[in-house]
């Protein structure tokens, strides 16, 4: 069975209540339940943390055994050398995702410490960014 880990960074737990004009009105839990229902043959793991080191721990934990990692490091994308180094170190491919189009926003969101080590980047499609990343992993498994 294909194993896919979804890892979310800070404030993604507030999805649905947080700046809905940017991030939408759906909670991540509701979206994730739907995703699991729509892809019953995928074994998902889901982790969210507001703490940088916990995200690094999780990347190290899943990064040698899972088939793919979908990572939205949120604000840490733009600040964390440590998360970038972890993505570089592990063996499992990582797709960096963002709900919003970070390049259409403030310039401090244009830099990512993750992109150079990721398989690719998907941004700006709302929660569909996660599903597009998933489809890419599944396509590559065929």
**Contact pick of 26, 42, 74, 138 for ligand DQA (by CB under 6 A):** 74
Nearer to ligand DQA, 65 or 135 (CB): 135
**Contact pick of 100, 115, 128, 136 for ligand DQA (by CB under 6 A):** 100
Nearer to ligand DQA, 20 or 65 (CB): 20
Quote the CA–CA distance of 53 and 38 in Å, as a whole number. 31
Nearer to ligand DQA, 79 or 136 (CB): 79
Quote the CA–CA distance of 134 and 36 in Å, as a whole number. 11
Quote the CA–CA distance of 24 and 18 in Å, as a whole number. 8
**Contact pick of 2, 3, 11, 82 for ligand DQA (by CB under 6 A):** 11
Helix, strand or coil, per DSSP, at residue 5: strand
Strand order in the sheet with 68-72: 42-48, 2-8, 68-72, 94-98, 120-123
Q: Which residues bind ligand DQA (CB under 6 A)?
A: 11, 72, 74-75, 77, 98-100, 102, 109
């Amino acid at each position: 069975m294909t194993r896919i880990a979804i890892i979310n960074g800070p404030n993604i737990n507030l999805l649905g209540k947080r700046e809905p004009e940017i991030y939408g009105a759906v909670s991540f839990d509701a979206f994730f339940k739907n995703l699991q229902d729509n892809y019953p043959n995928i074994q998902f793991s889901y982790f969210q943390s507001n703490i940088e080191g916990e995200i690094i721990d999780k990347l190290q934990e899943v990064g040698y055994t899972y088939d793919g990692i979908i990572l939205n490091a949120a604000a840490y994308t733009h600040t964390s050398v440590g998360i970038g180094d972890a993505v570089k170190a592990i063996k499992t491919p990582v797709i960096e995702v963002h709900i919003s189009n970070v390049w259409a926003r403030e310039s401090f969101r244009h830099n990512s410490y993750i992109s150079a080590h990721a398989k690719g980047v998907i941004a700006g499609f709302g929660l569909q960014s996660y599903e597009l990343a998933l489809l890419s992993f599944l396509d590559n498994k065929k």
